[in-house]
């Protein structure tokens, strides 16, 4: 599957409002009612594209969740997790209190990264 953020035309750190706005703009473009006079081939292509856009939106619309509260972790442990998350291309955020937030779509990948961190 293509990166859902790429399908929607937003970055992986986009806010839920930006994601929704991008989705709605794409729905306007690819909605079958806007293409009523088009050929069957064009309609089939736009329906596929609309399905891709909808699947991408559904996979990321849940937004960010607080995943891991790590106040006891050292700077080195956080850095190790950050490197692994970057290598796995998992968008993430740390706040000043050591709380790791990830998008729901990447929860399983984060489980593996955190489990492999000493």
pLDDT at 35: 65
- What fold is seen in the domain 64-115? Alpha-Beta Plaits (3.30.70)
| Closest listed residue to residue 20, CA positions, set 63, 67, 65, 64 | 63
pTM, 2 dp: 0.53
Q: Which two tokens stand for residue 46?
A: 């736009």
pLDDT at 63: 60
Same fold, 4-60 and 64-115: no
- Tell me the Cα Rg of the chain: 18
Query: Residue 61 pLDDT > 80, yes or no?
Result: no
Domain spanning 4-60: CATH superfamily: DnaJ domain (1.10.287.110)
* Domain residue ranges of the chain, discontinuous segments joined by +: 4-60, 64-115
Query: Residue 116 pLDDT > 60, yes or no?
Result: yes
pLDDT confidence band for 10 (50 / 70 / 90): very high
Residue that wins the pLDDT comparison between 1 and 106: 106
Calpha distance 118→116 (Å, rounded): 6
Calpha distance 17→57 (Å, rounded): 12
């Amino acid at each position: 599957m293509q990166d859902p953020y790429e399908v929607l035309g937003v970055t992986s750190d986009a806010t839920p409002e930006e994601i929704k706005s991008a989705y709605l703009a794409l729905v306007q473009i690819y909605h079958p009612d806007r293409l009523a006079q088009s050929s069957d081939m064009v309609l089939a292509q736009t329906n596929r594209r609309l399905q891709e856009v909808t699947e991408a939106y559904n996979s990321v619309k849940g937004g960010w969740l607080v995943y891991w509260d790590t106040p006891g972790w050292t700077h080195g442990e956080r850095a190790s997790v950050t490197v692994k998350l970057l290598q796995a291309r998992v968008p993430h955020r740390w706040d000043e209190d050591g709380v790791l937030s990830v998008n729901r779509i990447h929860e399983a990948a984060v489980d593996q990264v955190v489990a492999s961190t000493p």
